[in-house]
Amino acid sequence: MRTFLQSARYAAEGIAHAIRTQRHIRFHLSATVLVCMAAAWVGLSPLEWAVLLMMCAVVISLEMINTAIELAIDRIGLERHPLAKAAKDVAAGAVLLAVLFAIVVGILLLGPPIWQRF
């Protein structure tokens, strides 16, 4: 039986693997750092911080799920199959939708205070 610490270690290994091997994860993490710097600069409220961080977490989490789906499908076989393509495309589409909504949330939260400073 796995302990919580063992499970947490496996999860940390998965996060580390994604960061090491996936360019998009590194991009989203970099974007998160920049967004957090902007949020600190304009002084977002705690609720605004929560919404912003939640959107960042959703994007990064979906990118990791997308990676897991791609790896699992590639493990099954590298031959082209319409269902494999559909699964990969749907997972990538979920990431894209989350990114688009995150951009809108970022503009709504960061846009007005940044605009007022200039």
Active site residues: 63
- CA dist., res. 27 & res. 108, Å (int): 21
- Kindly report the backbone phi and psi dihedral angles of residue 2, in degrees, each rounded to the nearest multiple of 5, phi listed first: -75, 145
